[in-house]
Amino acid sequence: MAYNLCSSPSSLYQPLCNTLSSSSRDSKPRTLNNNFYHSLKLNTPSPQSRTTSLQITNVSLQDQKIPQQETSKDSNFNEKNGSSSKSYIWVNPKSSKASTLRKSSYDARYASLIKAAKSLNSCNPNKDDVFNILGEFGNKLFEHDAVVILNNMSNPDTALLALKFFRERLEFNREVVVYNVTMKVLRKCRDLNKVEKLFDEMIERAVKPDNVTFSTIISCARLCNLADKAVEWFEKMPSFGLDPDDVTFSTMIDSYGRVGNVEKALSLYDRARTEKWRLDTTTFSTLIRIYKDSGNFDGCLNVYEEMKALGVKPNLVIYNTLLDAMGRARRPWQAKKFYQDIIDSGLSPSYATYAALLRAYGRARYGEDTIKIYKEMKEKELSLNVLLYNTILAMCADLGFVDEAIEIFEDMKNSGISPDSWTFSSMITMSSCCGKVSEAENMLNEMFEAGFQPNIFVLTSLIQCYGKAQRIDDVVKTFNRLYELLITPDDRFCGCLLNVMTQTPNEELGKLVDCVERANPKLGHVVKLLVEEQGNEGNFKKEAADLFDNISTEVKKAYCNCLIDLCVKLNMLERACELLDHGLTLGIYTDIQSKTSTQWSLNLKSLSSGAALTALHVWINDLSKALEAGEQLPPLLGINTGHGKHKYSEKGLANVFESHLKELNAPFHEAPDKVGWFLTTKVAAESWLESRKLADAVAA
């Protein structure tokens, strides 16, 4: 092989010159294609580039002048010519001088600098040890040597002492470079405090920082998760007359996003897209998080698509952020897709992946998918925390997954995770919805033993449980406990009381009227007008309107459903119709009746059984009026009850309606190809309506 001879170290100059001079005196000059000797220039050698980045110029050897340089301050060292501008001469490896020259090659010198860096990394961080190691070079150190040594160090304490050594002995052409590589050592150790102190030292020594200085400090702040510091240093750059480059700008998207300056982050992102900056996965992850936190879930997906279009491969952090975003957006189908992408890309799901999936599926009530992920976590021996257990149990309570919930609850306790009040609340809710009084009471006792007092959710569930079992005295006791615990009844609690009244024998309704009046006087007054049949029609409408003006939007439909159910229970059909009409006026119910040229429909999917029966009564009357007015019915008439059944009961609205339509002898029959639909023809409907009209006339 050929050896590169560096002209910088003075120890190399004289032997090389002597060798060449001797050769020219002792023999005649030989020529080989007139290009045997070459002068080689190398720009700032590095391990990768010192033998490759060569600019070759064909010159005569006699015309090549090798400069003489002093080596240090002690020897009047002057590096204005720059140690980074070095001359090299190719040497034939078969030459008898090759072994001697090999020892003086730049490769050997570079190896000695690396060895010094390793020694400095492992030595004691004191001045004597550091100075002794570097002192072995004598007066033969140059600015570029200092850069090489510092660039290969990882010990921040000895690096600072090495910098001090170089400052005392060398005159720098570009001192900022030496400071920058020292800062990079400190950055490796994520020591931002020392980096900032080193910057202050630079300013005191009148060393002007450059873009590399600031990008090093900013990246150090990012590594330390100190986004506010990154922003602070970025915004200092203009005061030093520096314009950030594209790389710095792109990293600041992440930092501004982390400190909450969304507008600035997105502004930089828009600029990045326009100017085609190169963005890393961390920046894309931050952008997705920004959109997620602002609720712009489509923005998350757009960033993901742009990322793929740029050829940036998503990592697990990106996927986990997207899974969390889709969970918040209640888009479990997209969470499923991203999970499949993780598997297809060969990535291994992490704990964060499974946790995000559980939250996404659990919130959306994807029961089977949630249980599947839970079992997969158990198979991989991944521990769930109390929040994840609560997510699963809350879903089970809502969907009626009773057996699964009991199994998971026991697993939770066996895993050493202590249930909290929300855990007990879900279990009590589930038992209450099933009407399992003893199980609910046992769970309440276990809750007490664990040191928790029942909250309003637990008491609401217990009232529902006792109401289903028609244990009205226990409902009243539970209601009184609410006040003993200094808990204020909310709209949902009152709605539960109202629902219990629809299941309570008429003779015991008075006990609950008192409770409702204490919890919500306006609601209590309306209920009292119904139960005690007080007040005229105008007074009831006024009180009902006042009630709905003073309750939250979330419970308006529930209240209206329950009040209509109570009217139906008390055989007060006119009041039920008034409430239904009021619900339609307020927009509580929408699109109950719909008409097309081919079909008129009654849509009952969002109504309680009492409200649905009332709506049917109104619709039948409207059909009769249409016939009397000479209006033509369409070829088909249908009633849509929905195909679902109650999660804790085998009965759904369709079952209730099927039996009621038989009682009315109505010609509606369940459609075999449309679940939840009851259909009839124009001819059958007209015949039935006419027969009803005759029956009413006879009865009158």
The pLDDT mean for the chain works out to 81
Residue 634 and residue 663: Cα distance in Å, rounded? 24
The average pLDDT across 376-397 equals 93
pLDDT in tens, 169-180: 888 888 899 899
Measured in whole angstroms, the distance separating CA 380 from the mean position of its chain's CA atoms is 23
Arithmetic mean of pLDDT, 304-321: 90
What pLDDT does 644 receive? 57
The second-level CATH assignment, the architecture, of 591-699 is 2-Layer Sandwich (3.30)
pLDDT at 612 over 90: yes
What pLDDT was estimated at residue 614?
Answer: 94
Percent of the chain with pLDDT over 90: 45
Rounded average pLDDT over 613-622: 94
How does residue 68 score in pLDDT terms, banded at 50, 70 and 90? very low
Of residues 86 and 307, more confidence is placed in 307
Q: Taking the model in full, what pTM does it have?
A: 0.64
CA dist 693 → 620, 622, 696, 698 (Å):
11, 13, 5, 9
DSSP secondary structure string for all residues of 478-539: HHHHHHHTTPPP-HHHHHHHHHHHTTS-GGGHHHHHHHHHHH-HHHHHHHHHHHTT-S-HHH
Q: How many CB atoms lie within 10 A of CB 126?
A: 12
pLDDT digits (tens, 9 = 90+) for 433-455: 888 899 999 999 999 999 999 99
Question: What are the tens digits of pLDDT across the range 95-105?
Answer: 666 565 555 55
What is the per-residue pLDDT for 102? 55
Residue 63: per-residue pLDDT: 35
3-state SS string for 147-201: HHHHHCCCCHHHHHHHHHHHHHHCCCCCHHHHHHHHHHHHHHCCCHHHHHHHHHH
Confidence of residue 167 (pLDDT cuts 50, 70, 90): confident
Higher pLDDT, 385 or 46: 385
What is the mean pLDDT of the segment spanning 588-615?
92
CB 4 within 8 A of CB 88: yes
User: Which one is predicted more confidently, 111 or 315?
Assistant: 315
Q: Specify the amino acid at residue 247.
A: V
Tokens standing for residue 345: 């890309």
Domain ranges of the chain: 591-699
The yes-or-no verdict on residue 300 having pLDDT over 50 is: yes
pLDDT at 168 over 90: no
The percent of residues in the chain predicted with pLDDT above 70, rounded, is 82
Structure tokens at 542: 């006024």
User: 87: helix, coil or strand?
Assistant: strand
Q: Which tokens go with 573?
A: 């059909």
pLDDT at 72 exceeding the cut of 80: no
What confidence tens digit (pLDDT) does each residue in 478-519 have? 999 999 999 999 999 999 999 999 999 999 999 999 999 999
Q: What's residue 219's pLDDT? A: 84
The stretch 273-294 carries a mean pLDDT of 82
Q: What are phi and psi of 638, to 5 degrees?
A: -145, 150
pLDDT over 60 at 248, yes or no: yes
- What pLDDT, on the 0 to 100 scale, is given for residue 113? 87
Question: What are 92-135's pLDDT values in tens digits?
Answer: 666 666 565 555 555 677 888 888 888 888 888 888 888 888 88
Residues contacting 623, CB < 8 A, separation 6+:
600, 633, 637, 685, 689
Structure confidence at residue 18 as a pLDDT band (50, 70, 90)? very low
Phi, then psi, of 357 in degrees rounded to 5: -65, -45
pLDDT at 603 over 90: yes
Distance (Å, whole) CA 54 – CA 154: 30
28 pLDDT above the threshold of 70: no
- pLDDT the model gives residue 112: 83
pLDDT-derived band at 267 (thresholds 50, 70, 90) equals: confident
Q: What is the mean pLDDT of residues 269-280?
A: 78
